[in-house]
């Protein structure tokens, strides 16, 4: 019961303060690892783009978070794989100025960007929680699939143009509440494939397809987030937890 309570507390801390959560994860990693639960950190690349805006181009972002792997049954190859992507920005760049889903800005500023062939980049700071069913082979190769939900906590519309070899930027940054244009949540499906080493490290590729329109229902235009994650994971405190369990079993067998 204490271990599950710790999981809930760490998840809540993530949503409140991302940096503090990572520190807590490192401190309490051994408390969260059991014979049926594996806890650790994940990190890598997040290649993201927006479906529905044909002229746009993708972004290259970093991904950082933590994970929990729940073994469904002893000696079973099936797991529930979940966690939180603490740092997982999504969006797209090179969006035309006249795209109707852009945020309205001051006319004189907008005209200036038009004169210099400017473009728009959209960035969405989002916490994502994947919930997948994983099948692990004896060789360490695994496949998984499921759902992924996200909480958008900040949006950025960045207008850019090159003026005499200098970069001109105009940013509109909004929080979750009353941003006027975008939804505060995201959701879709994801799937992945990877390999787990004998030391417990995992490397793999996951693809997320957003099914939630990023725009509020009041608008007619539609766009959807998609991401290709290339990640590595490392268990935290697993060996320490295994030694503690072995010592406890040895004490009980005396």
Q: Mean of the pLDDT values across residues 189-206?
A: 97
Q: Is the pLDDT of residue 242 over 60?
A: no
Q: Mean of the pLDDT values across residues 90-111?
A: 92
Q: Is the pLDDT of residue 17 over 80?
A: no
Sorted by where each starts, the structural domains of the chain and their CATH numbers stand as 2-252 (2.40.160.20)
Handedness of CA 143, 150, 33, 8 (dihedral sign): negative
pLDDT band at 41; cut points 50, 70, 90: very high
pLDDT band at 84; cut points 50, 70, 90: very high
Q: Mean of the pLDDT values across residues 173-178?
A: 83
- The pLDDT assigned to 35 comes to 74
Angle between helices 18-32 and 238-252 (to 10 degrees): 30
Q: Mean of the pLDDT values across residues 161-190?
A: 90
- The pLDDT assigned to 105 comes to 87
- The pLDDT assigned to 11 comes to 46
- The pLDDT assigned to 4 comes to 47
Rounded to whole angstroms, the Cα distance separating 227 from 209 reads 7
- The pLDDT assigned to 245 comes to 47
Three-state SS at 247 = helix
| DSSP label of 140 | S
Q: What is the pLDDT of residues 130-163, one digit of tens each?
A: 999 999 999 999 999 999 999 999 999 999 998 8
Task: Compare 32 and 214 and report the one with higher pLDDT.
Answer: 214
Task: Compare 20 and 116 and report the one with higher pLDDT.
Answer: 116
Task: Compare 246 and 51 and report the one with higher pLDDT.
Answer: 51
Q: Is the pLDDT of residue 47 over 70?
A: yes
Rounded to whole angstroms, the Cα distance separating 32 from 244 reads 12
- How would you class 166 by CB atoms within 10 Å of its CB: exposed for 0-12, middle for 13-18, buried for 19 or more? exposed
> Quick one: what percent of the chain has pLDDT higher than 90?
63
pLDDT band at 97; cut points 50, 70, 90: very high
CA end-to-end span of the chain, whole Å?
27
């Amino acid at each position: 019961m204490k271990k599950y309570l710790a999981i809930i507390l760490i998840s809540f801390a993530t949503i409140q303060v991302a940096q503090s959560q990572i520190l807590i994860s490192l401190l309490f990693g051994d408390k969260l690892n059991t014979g049926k639960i594996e806890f650790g950190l994940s990190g890598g690349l997040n290649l993201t783009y927006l479906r529905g805006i044909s002229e746009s181009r993708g972004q290259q972002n970093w991904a950082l978070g933590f994970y929990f792997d729940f073994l469904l049954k002893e000696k079973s190859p099936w797991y529930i794989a979940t966690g939180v992507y603490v740092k997982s920005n999504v969006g797209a760049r090179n969006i035309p100025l006249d795209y109707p889903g852009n945020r309205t800005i001051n006319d004189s500023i907008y005209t200036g960007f038009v004169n210099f062939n400017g473009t728009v980049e959209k960035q969405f700071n989002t916490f994502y929680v994947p919930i997948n069913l994983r099948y692990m082979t004896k060789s360490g190769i695994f496949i998984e699939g499921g759902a992924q939900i996200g909480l958008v906590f900040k949006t950025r519309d960045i207008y850019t143009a090159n003026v005499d070899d200098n970069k001109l930027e105009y940013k509109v940054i909004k929080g979750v509440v009353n941003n006027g244009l975008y939804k505060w949540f995201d959701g879709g499906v994801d799937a992945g494939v990877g390999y787990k080493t004998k030391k417990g490290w995992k490397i793999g590729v996951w693809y997320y397809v957003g099914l939630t329109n990023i725009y509020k229902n009041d608008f007619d235009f539609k766009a959807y987030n998609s991401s290709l994650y290339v990640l590595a994971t490392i268990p935290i405190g697993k060996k320490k937890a295994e030694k503690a369990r072995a010592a406890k079993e040895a004490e009980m067998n005396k």
